[in-house]
Amino acid sequence: AILAILRERRPVHLSERDSELYELLFRPNHFSPRQFQTLISNAQWRQANNSALVTEGQTVTNLILLASGHCDVTIGGDQANVIRPGDFIGELEYMQSQDKSDAGSVVISAPVSVIAKGEVNYVSWSFEDLEALLNAPQNKQILVRIEALLAKDIATKLLETDIRHGARLNPDKIPGVPGVK
């Protein structure tokens, strides 16, 4: 127990892009630098440019976190929402996979397409690797925090989609809401 406390208190050195992501999303959501380092060290940084990160109807096997840029979310070709830095992609599918006994073998199809608008940078975790990381006994606090963060992300997107849909039906009813046209 004492060794774990000492390890947690040792300084953590993050790259510039890791540090920016930590400050954007993880610090405000009460992740310690060490917890973030554990999580990010198991992720892969990726880049896309005007391409699909997720395609409607295809199997989702990765949890993605947008670090920079924007993505459009479409359903049947119609825009439903926008993904911004700090937003997750595949979080609903990841949470659904956790309800199954063997997440590595669960096949969940994307209900939407997510398309990068211009250049985007993101981090990606395979569901299988993330499950193994979060279910390790020493990472239970990270598991609780990431599940809360994903639930918050899902709730925010549902609210934004509902507001956007309501604004299309009654544009004068929701003045001043950013992103509503």
**Mean of the per-residue pLDDT values of the chain:** 86
pTM for the model: 0.83
Residue 105: band (very low, low, confident or very high) from pLDDT cuts 50, 70, 90: low
Q: 135, 146 in Cβ contact below 8 A?
A: no
For residues 99 and 118, give the distance between their C-alpha atoms in angstroms, rounded to a whole number.
35
Using CB atoms within 10 A of its CB, is residue 4 exposed (0-12), middle (13-18) or buried (19+)?
exposed
Residue 134 pLDDT > 80, yes or no?
yes
Tell me what pLDDT residue 59 has: 93
Tell me what pLDDT residue 181 has: 43
Tens of pLDDT, residue by residue over 7-61, are: 666 788 899 999 999 999 999 999 999 999 999 999 999 999 999 999 999 999 9
Q: Which amino acid is located at 48 in the chain?
A: A
Tell me what pLDDT residue 103 has: 46
Q: Where are the beta strands (DSSP E) in 59-112?
A: 62-75, 78-83, 88-89
